[in-house]
Amino acid sequence: MPEQSVLIVGGGPAGMEAARGVADLGYKAILVEKRSRLGGTPDEAHYAALTPDFRSAEEAMKEMADAVQNHPNVELHLNSTVTAASGSVGDFEITLKNAKGSEKVKAGAVIIATGFTHFDPGRETQQYGYYEFDDVITLVDLEKMLKAHKVVRPSNGQPPKRLCFIQCVGSRDRQIGNEYCSKVCCGIASKEAIEVRQQLPDCKVFIFYIDMRMYGYWESQIYWPAQEKYKVNYIKGIATEVLKKGDQLIVRGEDATFGRPMEVPMDIVVLSVGMEPSAGTKEMAKIFGLETNKYNFIETIGGALNTVTTSKEGVFACGACTGPADLEDSISSASAAALKAVSILRKTAQAA
């Protein structure tokens, strides 16, 4: 009799949704998470409000976590990592490691949901000085400040009078090797811009961009309100470098619409860092022998019609481990992965 359970790696939004889906369909979901709690990057990185609906990330992640923690069909392994895997569809054997030691578990199918990591701005080719200037921060750093309702210049603890975002840091860049668009940063920067204007109405906010990519409803949910209601200034022309004069940051660049140089004083510069595959994603690709693309994200092989099937039969992937994804994408692909994983269990059982 083939195994009637699905092992899910990663307890972020995609992993939680996949586990809930499998469990709701009446199968056993074995959810493995390396941290001591569920919630993934939105929890670990202290996200404030979610994009695009501004719902509290803490509250939303708690709701998702409660749904799996209290589910009779979910077997939760916190503080655990996958260290080895063998077998094939219907009969995988996976080694889990935690503080107490190793154990082997059986599963008929596997879903990888190990997500992404934020791009490290130390690797950018421009000179934005993230590790040089205290007041140059990332979207992630600002998210944490917004959550604490304490948006201040790290250098002096004062609230900023002028704050800007620089888009596409670590994305759309051939020299860095990340030729893809990270998809979410335009929306997240605009969402954070709105939150800054809400918390600090006296702070002027600017967004320097190449192209604003606010597809679908993000246009009307975030972009238009940011510009129309919250008076965020969008300027076409990305900054080339950040300098410091006295205790003021200066953003140097070109206003590309007018073709004129600009040197704009700022109190805080926020780098809109993109997505790269997480260490866990790279590790799982190795352990399960999955094909990856040139950026080390897990490759799905079904094209536009199947976004979760990997090169290994019985192993599925969802969320941002397959490429840049927003929360909406991650939840959708997680449901698809749960469905495909359960389907393959049923087909294997019928064939046996």
- Of 237 and 324, nearer to another protein (C-beta) is 237
CB of 141 to another protein, least distance (A): 23
CB of 207 to another protein, least distance (A): 14
How far is 87 from 176, CA to CA, in rounded Å?
37
How far is 204 from 197, CA to CA, in rounded Å?
8
Residue 79 CA, distance from chain mean position: 21
Q: 196: Cβ–Cβ under 8 A, 6 or more apart, which residues?
A: 142, 146, 151, 163, 203, 205
CB of 182 to another protein, least distance (A): 13
CB of 237 to another protein, least distance (A): 4
- Of 43 and 173, nearer to another protein (C-beta) is 173
- Of 241 and 313, nearer to another protein (C-beta) is 241
- Residues of this chain that interact with another protein (CB under 8 A) are 125-127, 168, 172-176, 210-211, 236-241, 252-256, 259, 261
Is the Cα torsion angle 78, 82, 88, 91 positive or negative in sign? negative
How far is 92 from 110, CA to CA, in rounded Å?
8
- Of 66 and 241, nearer to another protein (C-beta) is 241
Measure the CA angle with vertex 108, ends 283 and 33; round to 5°.
40
- Of 181 and 200, nearer to another protein (C-beta) is 181
CB of 173 to another protein, least distance (A): 4
How far is 137 from 132, CA to CA, in rounded Å?
10
